[in-house]
Structure 1
Amino acid sequence: MINVVAYIRVSTSGQGESGLGLEAQRDYIERAAQANGWNVIGKFVDVVSGKLALEERPEGKKALAACKQHNAQLLVAKLDRLSRSVLHIAQLMEQVDFKVATMPQADKFQLHLFAALAQQEREFIAQRTKDALAALQRRADAGETEAVVKVSRRTQALEKGRAVADITVANNIRLSKIANYQTAIEPHLKSCLHDKVKTLQAVADCLNRKGFRTPRGSEFNATAVRRLMIALDLPLPKTV
């Protein structure tokens, strides 16, 4: 039986991107695993842009680590959940074997080919859109009222899109900083737990003595420790 690590990604612009939200991806993955006898040993979910390489995403990085640790393959619902870039797909193939639920029998060559064809089609669509907008702008410049209205609407849509993109970038940076912070503090937190502490406040006191602070720069308290341990998927002390 092949062990697989499930990876799900949705964009910050909404779960319905490409008609493939969280639940739909889970369904694809579960049905593919059941039909092919794959053993799902872990699941990771990212809410980030597909423009980021997998290893640059908070949960994507963890999914890759889990694959290496358990000698497992990565499983996604669709190829574009990994990346929309042929370069990223090719680089990922050097790091880990992966399977796609919607084409479970595809080998590396076929997956690379599908990725290349999908990227080419996106580039064709982008160029056709660019040419159409240029023609519309020429008509607007010539004074056609209908064209002027359409250009105005397009400009407003682009401005809204840029605002959403700015929020997405800021969110990705925030998530990356949180992931880096949690990775850095995790061994020290575990050290405190192994020091025979029995309460969350005792763990907080231990971290404070070590000079650590929360992401906001405050001293740790029981609540902050609880949140951190849940985020790191660590068992809470029996006495909290």
Structure 2
Amino acid sequence: MANVVAYIRVSTSRQGDSGLGLEAQREYIERAAIQNGWNVIAEFVDVVSGKQALEDRPAGKKALAMCKEHDAMLLVAKLDRLSRSVLHIAQLMEQVDFKVATMPQANTFQLHLFAALAQQEREFIAQRTKDALAALQRRAEAGDAVSVKKINRRTQALEKGRAVADITAANNVRMENVAAFQAAVRPHLESCLYNKLSTLQAVADCLNAKGIRTKRGSIWNPTAVRRLILALDLPLPKAD
């Protein structure tokens, strides 16, 4: 049975990028693994733009390392989850063997061809869109009322999209900061739990005695301790 490392990517702007969210990608990957007798030994998830090369993404770099360490193949739901660039796909082929769940029997040549066709289609669409917008702008400047309204609607939509992207980026930074804080506190929390403290208040007292503070700089209380334990998927004190 061949070992595979599952890799999932969603965009920073919206999880439904290309209509393919996290759970949908997992379903494709799991189904392909079962049908082809592959053993999924790990899963890595990135929330990044597809413009970055796989080795430049946090989870992508780890996925590649695990593939090399365990002589495993990389498995993705769709080819564009790896990259939207033919160059990146070609470079990746020299680093690791990979499979695509939606076309598991495709060989290296076919995958390279699919990537090239997809990139060409995106370039055609981008050029057609650019030409259409230029024509619309010319009509609006000539005084066409309908074209002016379309330009205004597009401008409003772009501004709204930028606002949503800014909020998403801020949320991503916040989640990264929370994860970093939890990782830093984890060994101290595990030390308290290792002492078999029987209540959440006892754990809170233990953290406070160590001089550890919550992310907001407050002292620990049972509610904050409980949230942290659940977030880190650690066992709650039995007395609670």
Common fold, TM-score beyond 0.5?
yes
Question: How far is the alpha carbon of 1:38 from its aligned partner?
Answer: 1.8
Partner of 2:104: 104
CA distance in 1, matches of 2:91, 2:182: 26
Question: How far is the alpha carbon of 1:64 from its aligned partner?
Answer: 6.9
Q: Deviations over 1:116-153 (max 9, x none)?
A: 54344333322331222122111111112222122112
TM-score, normalising length: structure 2: 0.76
Does 2:156 correspond to 1:156?
yes
Partner of 1:236: 236
Of stretches 87-96 and 205-214 in structure 1, the one that deviates more from structure 2 is 87-96
Partner of 2:165: 165
Q: 1:212 to 1:151 in 2, by over 3 A?
A: same
CA distance in 2, matches of 1:37, 1:208: 50
CA distance in 1, matches of 2:173, 2:37: 38
TM-score, normalising length: structure 1: 0.76
Does 2:185 correspond to 1:185?
yes
Partner of 2:144: 144
Task: Specify every segment of 5 or more residues in structure 1 that has no aligned partner in the other structure, as ranges.
Answer: none
Q: 1:43 to 1:6 in 2, by over 3 A?
A: same
Secondary structure of the residue aligned to 1:40 is: strand
CA distance in 2, matches of 1:70, 1:201: 44
User: What does 1:116-131 align with in structure 2 at a 5 Å threshold?
Assistant: 117-131=117-131
* 1:3–1:40 CA contact under 8 A, matched in 2: yes
Task: Specify every segment of 5 or more residues in structure 2 that has no aligned partner in the other structure, as ranges.
Answer: none
Partner of 1:205: 205
* 1:197–1:203 CA contact under 8 A, matched in 2: yes
Identity %: 79
Question: How far is the alpha carbon of 1:170 from its aligned partner?
Answer: 1.0
Q: 1:161 to 1:210 in 2, by over 3 A?
A: same
Partner of 1:21: 21
Does 2:221 correspond to 1:217?
no
Partner of 1:39: 39
* 1:58–1:176 CA contact under 8 A, matched in 2: no
Of stretches 119-128 and 169-178 in structure 1, the one that deviates more from structure 2 is 119-128
Corresponding pairs, count: 240
Question: How far is the alpha carbon of 1:33 from its aligned partner?
Answer: 1.0
Q: Deviations over 1:81-104 (max 9, x none)?
A: 344455766777788764321132
* Structure 1 residue identity aligned to 2:103: M
Partner of 1:195: 195
Question: How far is the alpha carbon of 1:166 from its aligned partner?
Answer: 1.1
Q: 1:2 to 1:225 in 2, by over 3 A?
A: farther
CA distance in 2, matches of 1:149, 1:15: 31
* 1:73–1:97 CA contact under 8 A, matched in 2: yes
Q: 1:159 to 1:28 in 2, by over 3 A?
A: same
Q: Which protein has the larger Cα radius of gyration, Structure 1 or Structure 2?
A: 2
Secondary structure of the residue aligned to 2:215 is: coil
CA distance in 2, matches of 1:204, 1:94: 51
Question: How far is the alpha carbon of 1:34 from its aligned partner?
Answer: 0.6
